[in-house]
Structure 1
């Protein structure tokens, strides 16, 4: 058993320090939630060879003597930490009185053990903070348990002779410390610590005497100070229940504030919706809101303007049906037949005036429209022929207008040589292509 603990204790200590390094790095990355997790403590108190479960070891009368210790602690959570404890001091007792059973021991009358060292790794559990609704409290209860080694030198007294056990050599034994305590916060980084630890020794030679084959025990009742290291509040005093409660209250207050804002926004939206409905109200259904309707109560189906008033529609225009007779066409045909121009010019010869006059009278009398289309043969350039054909058509239009015809009803266009009606290879064909066409409509 002792060899197993000797092998495991260094591993446990190494695990403690590696966990400390990892948590320190994690804490450093969260400055807004940084807590102090390292602490050291010093204490002093009373060592006695007694335990509440197991009696007074091998001697009937226990005595108290000075003990002192120190520790280093790493707080991993609000409720759990690992503590490396060291204790020194003296433990003594005698047989100056009878045991509770009435047995009066003889032989060895007293013992004194020099506790050269005691080192143990202990798990410490904070039982609770006194007020669960306080984020930090001033009083804390805890329990602890662990394992370690104790080195001690016992000596016994028989009559007037004192004998050193095992020739005065230091004996090393496994110890199992179990304790409880109370801690008081007296400053931001300082705690007052009261505790009591019972150490179960894996052997029956702690008092230098073998009796009843019972393993020995000793107690250490102490008082001391604990000093928190590093920046931030002490993690052990932080109460996550209260913090969660405060966060829940803050969230509830924020939700209530948001609900109030939402209710106010809903009321504002309802008011805006009502105003919009009033603005868009159209009682007569003509598509113009009442606020803009200058002609309310317009009958349903009435076409209205932007002001809501009935739209005035112009009287329908009656299109006069135009009838072109054969006599009308003959007048136009005679004008075409007798139409002559000066050579290579747009000047109308006088012999063409009488038939053109009859065309002008026809346009005035019957309000006809007339399209004039000028054409040439292929002699000459394209641009020249196009211009000549246009000019001749315009010349006829000008003459008809001078005789009273409506200019807006006469269209004059020139096509040049692009629309021949006969071949341009002969003089007779070219003669037919040099023409102005009259179209009544």
Structure 2
């Protein structure tokens, strides 16, 4: 559940980003005349349940006094961030049956929770201004969502008496507040605020009774909001509704800019006419005649900064290597007849004839050859790695002794790490003891 609550935090951060971008698009002169910071105080009713469904741990949830304050930054007429704080009490008992008629047989008969603090950062979105043709409105509807932290101490009453649920310790849990509200502008600096918030708690200990499912509580409130600074409030400003004077002023500004642009174009045309001689390029090589040290170069010639032809290096011709089926057969015969002394890198003489044909092939066609030595799993890993490397090097040394180019032969040992058959049988181990030849 905590991971789900943390997932809501990027929503608030995304709102901050969008609000900042939108604010940057407001004209600087307009933003300077509008109030964007405000503080609010409120009081209302705290209730330990939610009308959105879910289990209620107690059958009779009571309403208690709550109070709060907030500070808000308005980024655009439609978006703001608000830091809220709320305190109060939450109460409930089991003196009544549920609406379904069931009786709550909980061992906890009643509770009283002191909400010591509830702090949250909320993104607030104004749904619309009531009259889009008025620059200033007096009524707004808004919705909010955010995340925060609540600290509280539940006191429970059982058959044995009353006690603190967690001793003198303050329980701290994450909360997700979601709310709606309506705001009425009383004056340029004061608003009347009505709101309702449902707070989802990341825990089942708000009322001191763990019945299953996270707890939640409501806060319905009324209060006053005070806009700081001077001028109109950005929250009630309607940028869509432009007056005739504002539109006329914008047109006059645009006409003035167009006149300046036309004058600048005429000046640029005059400068181009005066500089035409300086920019003349008779041979069309991109270097002006006054700077061209090699005039008259043919069309399409690539030149340097002085207008002289660039020297292009001769193209490098790479010979393509083609390996035929006959070449592959020579290599395959060498692999088939290759034998070493047991546990050593010494090549047996019966392998010389086919290896000689491989050496002759490398000399004749200037091929490159990769030798890869492999072993079975008999013996230690280190021993097999060394033996496979030594056998590949032994084959390379023999081919070089027959005239092959050593720089075109690569010898690598892989030990027992790349078997091509099972090591559980003698036949499989025989296949794994090999040196692979790759022509290229």
Structure 1 length-normalised TM: 0.51
CA offset at residue 252 of structure 1?
11
Q: Distance in 2 between matches of 1:9 and 1:69?
A: 22
Note closer, same or farther for the CA distance 1:232–1:250 as it changes in structure 2 (3 Å cut): same
For 2:158, the equivalent position in structure 1 comes to 158
CA offset at residue 31 of structure 1?
6.1
Q: What CA deviation, in whole Å up to 9, does each residue of 1:21-78 have, x standing for no partner?
A: x999998952685211000101111100121112562001110111110101000111
**Bigger Rg, structure 1 or 2:** 1
Note closer, same or farther for the CA distance 1:126–1:209 as it changes in structure 2 (3 Å cut): same
Q: What CA deviation, in whole Å up to 9, does each residue of 1:318-373 have, x standing for no partner?
A: xxxxxxxxxxxxxxxxxxxxxxxxxxxxxxxxxxxxxxxxxxxxxxxxxxxxxxxx
Is this contact kept in 2: 1:9–1:148, CA < 8 A?
A: no
Q: Distance in 2 between matches of 1:16 and 1:123?
A: 8
For 1:196, the equivalent position in structure 2 comes to 196
Is this contact kept in 2: 1:130–1:139, CA < 8 A?
A: yes
CA offset at residue 189 of structure 1?
0.3
CA offset at residue 145 of structure 1?
0.4
Instruction: Report the count of equivalent residues.
Output: 251
CA offset at residue 2 of structure 1?
4.2
Note closer, same or farther for the CA distance 1:160–1:216 as it changes in structure 2 (3 Å cut): same
For 1:59, the equivalent position in structure 2 comes to 58
For 2:360, the equivalent position in structure 1 comes to none
Note closer, same or farther for the CA distance 1:55–1:92 as it changes in structure 2 (3 Å cut): farther
For 1:116, the equivalent position in structure 2 comes to 116
For 2:87, the equivalent position in structure 1 comes to 88
Structure 2 length-normalised TM: 0.51
Correspondence 1:213-252 to 2 at 5 A? 213-243=212-242, 246-247=243-244, 250-251=247-248
Note closer, same or farther for the CA distance 1:71–1:179 as it changes in structure 2 (3 Å cut): same
Correspondence 1:210-289 to 2 at 5 A? 210-211=210-211, 213-243=212-242, 246-247=243-244, 250-251=247-248
Q: Is it true that 1:101 corresponds to 2:100 in the alignment?
A: yes
Q: What CA deviation, in whole Å up to 9, does each residue of 1:210-269 have, x standing for no partner?
A: 11x1110000001111000122211000011223xx3599449989xx9xxxxxxxxxxx
Give SS of 2:66's match: strand
Give SS of 1:118's match: strand
Task: Provide structure 2 residue ranges, at least 5 long, that are not aligned to the other structure.
Answer: 256-440
For 1:289, the equivalent position in structure 2 comes to none
Note closer, same or farther for the CA distance 1:32–1:115 as it changes in structure 2 (3 Å cut): closer
Note closer, same or farther for the CA distance 1:129–1:8 as it changes in structure 2 (3 Å cut): closer
Note closer, same or farther for the CA distance 1:133–1:92 as it changes in structure 2 (3 Å cut): same
Note closer, same or farther for the CA distance 1:6–1:151 as it changes in structure 2 (3 Å cut): farther
Task: Provide structure 1 residue ranges, at least 5 long, that are not aligned to the other structure.
Answer: 259-441
Q: Distance in 2 between matches of 1:122 and 1:57?
A: 26
Give SS of 2:167's match: helix
Is this contact kept in 2: 1:41–1:226, CA < 8 A?
A: yes
CA offset at residue 16 of structure 1?
6.4
Q: Distance in 2 between matches of 1:32 and 1:116?
A: 38
For 2:186, the equivalent position in structure 1 comes to 186
Q: Is it true that 1:140 corresponds to 2:116 in the alignment?
A: no
Q: Distance in 2 between matches of 1:32 and 1:162?
A: 57
Q: Distance in 1 between matches of 2:128 and 2:22?
A: 23
Give SS of 1:240's match: coil
Note closer, same or farther for the CA distance 1:253–1:157 as it changes in structure 2 (3 Å cut): closer
Q: Distance in 1 between matches of 2:83 and 2:218?
A: 18
Is this contact kept in 2: 1:189–1:228, CA < 8 A?
A: yes
CA offset at residue 148 of structure 1?
0.5
Q: Distance in 2 between matches of 1:51 and 1:32?
A: 40
Give SS of 1:137's match: coil
Is this contact kept in 2: 1:182–1:194, CA < 8 A?
A: yes
Note closer, same or farther for the CA distance 1:72–1:253 as it changes in structure 2 (3 Å cut): closer
The root-mean-square deviation of aligned C-alpha atoms, in Å, is 3.6
Q: Distance in 1 between matches of 2:209 and 2:179?
A: 26
Q: Distance in 1 between matches of 2:6 and 2:144?
A: 20
Is this contact kept in 1: 2:5–2:147, CA < 8 A?
A: yes
Is this contact kept in 2: 1:56–1:62, CA < 8 A?
A: no
Q: Distance in 2 between matches of 1:250 and 1:26?
A: 18
Greater than 6 Å deviation, 4+ residue runs: 3-10, 22-28, 252-255
Q: Distance in 1 between matches of 2:241 and 2:229?
A: 24
For 2:296, the equivalent position in structure 1 comes to none
Note closer, same or farther for the CA distance 1:89–1:236 as it changes in structure 2 (3 Å cut): same
